Structure 1
Amino acid sequence: MSEQPAGRRESAAGVESATIQPIPPDERHGTNRDMFTIWFGTNIMILSVVTGGLATTLFGQPAWSAALGIVVGNLFGAVFMALHSAQGPRLGVPQMVQTKGQFGSWGALLIVLIVVVMYLGFFISILVFGGQSLASVIPHLSSKAGIVLLAAASIAATIWGYSLIHAYARIMTYASGAVLLLAFVWAFVVHPVPHTFFSTGEATLSGFMSTVSVAAVWQIAYAPYVSDYSRYMPAKTGSKPAFWMSYWGTSIGSILPMFLGAGIGLLLPGADPIAALTQATAGISLLVVAVFSIGVAATNAMNLYCGTLCTITIVQTCLPRFTARGRERALVAAGLCTLALAVALTSGSGFVATYNNFLTLLLGSLVPWTAVNLVDFYLVRHGDYAVEDFFERDGGRYGRVNWPAVLCYLVGVVVQIPFMIIGTAYTGPIAKALGNTDISFIAGLVVVSPLYYFTARAVAGLRTAVAVEEVPVLAQGETGA
Structure 2
Amino acid sequence: MEKDTDMEKAPSSPVVQDIAEAQTEAYQTPGFTRKHPFLQRLASWGVELHGVTPVPVEDRTSTRYINIFFVWFTMSINLLPIVTGMVGTLGFGMSLRDTSLLILFFSLFCTIFPAYFCTLGARTGLRQMLHARYTFGYYLVSIVVLLNLATIGGFGVIDAVVGGSTLSAVSNGNVNDTVGIVIITILALLVSFAGYKALHQYERYAWLPALIAIIIATGCGGKHLSHQVETEPPAASLIISFGGVIAGYMIPWAAMASDFAVYCHPSVSTARIFWYSYAGLLVPSVLLMILGAAIGGAAPNVPSWSDGYDRYSAGGVLEAMLKPAGGFGKFVAVILAFSLLGNIAATMYSVTLNCQLLIPVLVRVPRAAFAVLYTAVCIPLSIYAAKNFFDSLENFIYVIAYWSADFVAVVSIEHFVFRRADCATYDLAIWDVPRKLPSGIAAMAACALSFALIVPCMGQVWYTGPLAEKAGDIGFEVGLCLSAVLYLPFRWAEIRYRKQL
TM range, normalised to the smaller chain?
A: 0.7 to 0.9
Give the drift of 1:260. Answer: 1.1
Equivalence map 1:396-407=2 (5 Å): 396-399=435-438, 401-407=439-445
CA distance in 1, matches of 2:404, 2:274: 20
1:279 and 2:294 equivalent? no
CA distance in 2, matches of 1:221, 1:452: 20
1:133 and 2:166 equivalent? yes
Give the drift of 1:31. Answer: 3.0
Among candidates 305, 327, 335, match of residue 349 of structure 2? 305
Give the drift of 1:232. Answer: 1.2
1:155 and 2:177 equivalent? no
Equivalence map 1:302-341=2 (5 Å): 302-315=346-359, 317-318=360-361, 323-324=364-365, 328-341=366-379
CA distance in 2, matches of 1:51, 1:343: 19
Give the drift of 1:386. Answer: 0.7
CA distance in 1, matches of 2:89, 2:161: 24
Shift in CA distance, 343/59, structure 1 to aligned 2, threshold 3 Å? closer
CA distance in 2, matches of 1:345, 1:431: 32
Among candidates 452, 471, 480, match of residue 414 of structure 1? 452
1:181 and 2:215 equivalent? yes
CA distance in 2, matches of 1:125, 1:374: 28
1:471 is matched with which residue?
none
Give the drift of 1:17. Answer: 2.2
CA distance in 2, matches of 1:252, 1:416: 30
Among candidates 467, 488, 491, match of residue 453 of structure 1? 488
Q: How far does the alpha carbon of each residue in 1:267-291 deviate from its partner, in whole angstroms, 9 at most, with x for none?
A: 2237323333333343344244322
Among candidates 95, 107, 115, match of residue 148 of structure 2? 115
The alignment partner of 2:339 has SS state of helix
Give the drift of 1:345. Answer: 4.4
Letter in 2 for 1:144: T
- Number of matched pairs: 447
Letter in 2 for 1:14: G
Q: How far does the alpha carbon of each residue in 1:419-468 deviate from its partner, in whole angstroms, 9 at most, with x for none?
A: 2223x21112212112xx3221111111112321343234435655x99x
Give the drift of 1:184. Answer: 3.1
Q: Conserved in 2, the CA contact under 8 Å of 1:74 and 1:219?
A: yes
CA distance in 1, matches of 2:238, 2:451: 24
Q: How far does the alpha carbon of each residue in 1:218-254 deviate from its partner, in whole angstroms, 9 at most, with x for none?
A: 1012121111111111111122211111111111121
CA distance in 1, matches of 2:293, 2:44: 36
Equivalence map 1:19-418=2 (5 Å): 19-28=51-60, 29-138=62-171, 140-188=174-222, 191=223, 194=226, 197=228, 200-204=230-234, 205-269=236-300, 271=306, 272=309, 273-284=314-325, 285-315=329-359, 317-318=360-361, 323-324=364-365, 328-345=366-383, 349-350=387-388, 353-354=391-392, 357=395, 360-381=398-419, 382=421, 383=423, 384-392=425-433, 395-399=434-438, 401-418=439-456
Q: How far does the alpha carbon of each residue in 1:55-105 deviate from its partner, in whole angstroms, 9 at most, with x for none?
A: 222222223212111101211110112121111111112100111101110
CA distance in 2, matches of 1:459, 1:213: 32
Q: Conserved in 1, the CA contact under 8 Å of 2:457 and 2:473?
A: yes
Q: Conserved in 2, the CA contact under 8 Å of 1:43 and 1:295?
A: no
1:425 is matched with which residue?
462
Q: How far does the alpha carbon of each residue in 1:278-323 deviate from its partner, in whole angstroms, 9 at most, with x for none?
A: 33343344244322321222211122221111111234x247xx54
Letter in 2 for 1:299: N
Q: Conserved in 2, the CA contact under 8 Å of 1:77 and 1:218?
A: no
The farther-off stretch of 447-456 and 277-286 is: 277-286
CA distance in 2, matches of 1:126, 1:239: 31
CA distance in 1, matches of 2:384, 2:247: 32
Structure 1 unmatched runs, 5+: 468-481
Give the drift of 1:255. Answer: 0.7
Q: How far does the alpha carbon of each residue in 1:110-152 deviate from its partner, in whole angstroms, 9 at most, with x for none?
A: 1112222333333333323321221111353222221111121
Letter in 2 for 1:125: I
CA distance in 2, matches of 1:185, 1:203: 29
Q: How far does the alpha carbon of each residue in 1:339-372 deviate from its partner, in whole angstroms, 9 at most, with x for none?
A: 2224444667237745863564354223212111
1:478 is matched with which residue?
none
2:30 is matched with which residue?
none
1:15 is matched with which residue?
47
Give the drift of 1:20. Answer: 0.9
1:474 is matched with which residue?
none
The alignment partner of 1:187 has SS state of helix
Structure 2 unmatched runs, 5+: 10-42
CA distance in 2, matches of 1:292, 1:428: 39
CA distance in 1, matches of 2:64, 2:142: 32
The alignment partner of 2:88 has SS state of coil
What is the alpha-carbon root mean square deviation over aligned residues? 2.9
Seq. identity, %? 24
Q: Conserved in 1, the CA contact under 8 Å of 2:248 and 2:397?
A: no
Q: Conserved in 2, the CA contact under 8 Å of 1:431 and 1:438?
A: yes
Give the drift of 1:30. Answer: 4.3
Shift in CA distance, 75/22, structure 1 to aligned 2, threshold 3 Å? same
Q: Conserved in 2, the CA contact under 8 Å of 1:73 and 1:211?
A: no
CA distance in 2, matches of 1:390, 1:352: 40
The farther-off stretch of 341-350 and 248-257 is: 341-350
More helix by share: 2
Q: Conserved in 1, the CA contact under 8 Å of 2:102 and 2:243?
A: yes
Q: Conserved in 2, the CA contact under 8 Å of 1:368 and 1:445?
A: yes
Shift in CA distance, 127/91, structure 1 to aligned 2, threshold 3 Å? same
Return the index of the structure with the highest Cα Rg.
Answer: 1
The farther-off stretch of 70-79 and 111-120 is: 111-120
